[in-house]
């Protein structure tokens, strides 16, 4: 994270909801806050991406290891975006948390 501020609880809770529904229901609260914060930042970037291809590119680097289970970054990005749409309030909290870290108020997850 570029800022020294810790992410707020609503931001991390939103990320956990989306990640567990779209990627891995076994993801645990035992993961560190830093891990969840990094996941949240990337989920926000996937959701805010203008195209499915750009969304897939965001998570391609960490998603490669799942190729062995016949999953793809594009499929995972699609699930993330569908879950976020289905959980509108959760999605808004996640994107709002990402905007809080941006001085302009835009969703620039790289700023976090």
For residue range 53-107, what is the model confidence (pLDDT) as tens digits? 999 999 888 766 666 667 888 898 999 999 988 988 777 777 777 765 544 444 4
Q: pTM to 2 decimals?
A: 0.73
38 pLDDT more than 70: yes
The secondary structure of residue 67, as a DSSP letter, is: G
Is residue 100 in a domain?
Answer: yes
Q: What is the DSSP letter of 50?
A: S
Hey, CA dihedral for 65, 69, 70, 72, is it positive or negative? Answer: negative
Task: Classify burial at 66, counting beta carbons within 10 Å of its beta carbon; exposed 0-12, middle 13-18, buried 19 or more.
Answer: middle
Is residue 37 included in any domain, yes or no? yes
Determine the straight-line distance between the first and last CA of the chain, rounded to whole angstroms: 5
- How many structural domains is the chain composed of? 1
Of residues 1 and 13, more confidence is placed in 13
Within a domain: 84: yes
Q: Which domain, by its residues, includes 47?
A: 9-111
Residue 3 lies in a domain: no
Mean of pLDDT values over 9-33? 91
Distance CA 18, CA 79 (A): 9
pLDDT reported for residue 107? 43
């Amino acid at each position: 994270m570029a800022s020294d501020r810790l992410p707020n609880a609503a931001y991390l809770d939103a990320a956990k909801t989306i990640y567990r529904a779209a990627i891995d229901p076994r993801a645990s609260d035992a993961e560190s806050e830093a891990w969840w914060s990094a996941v949240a930042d990337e989920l926000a970037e996937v959701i805010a991406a203008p195209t499915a291809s750009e969304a897939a590119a965001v998570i391609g680097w960490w998603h490669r290891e799942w190729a062995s289970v016949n999953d793809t970054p594009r499929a995972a990005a699609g699930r993330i975006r569908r879950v976020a749409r289905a959980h509108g309030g959760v999605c808004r909290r996640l994107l709002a948390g990402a905007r809080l870290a941006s001085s302009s108020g835009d969703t620039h997850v790289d700023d976090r």
